[in-house]
Amino acid sequence: LGSSAGIHSSFNAVKKIKGKFMLSYNDSPLIRSLFKEFHIHNIKTMYELGGNFQASTKRIINEVYITNY
């Protein structure tokens, strides 16, 4: 997910963007609260744990992508 300071830094950076942006993060209440003025879209993605490609190491998680368009 990243540190709270890193998330706030990303938020401050995208607020200044004059063009379009798309940003993705793991879904969390902090992310949803901080970026609530933008469009938040839900997606599911699969992560490989430990670089091992066996099916038992795959995990599906919720992510969000955030846009200003």
Q: What string of DSSP letters covers 11-45?
A: HHHHHT-SS--EEEEE--HHHHHHTTTSEEEEEEE
List, for residues 8-65, the tens digit of each pLDDT value: 999 999 999 999 999 999 999 999 999 999 999 999 998 776 655 555 677 889 999 9
Q: What is the pLDDT of residue 53?
A: 58
Residue 2: is its pLDDT beyond 70?
A: no
- List the structure tokens of 64: 């969000």
Q: Phi/psi at 30 (nearest 5 deg)?
A: -65, -45
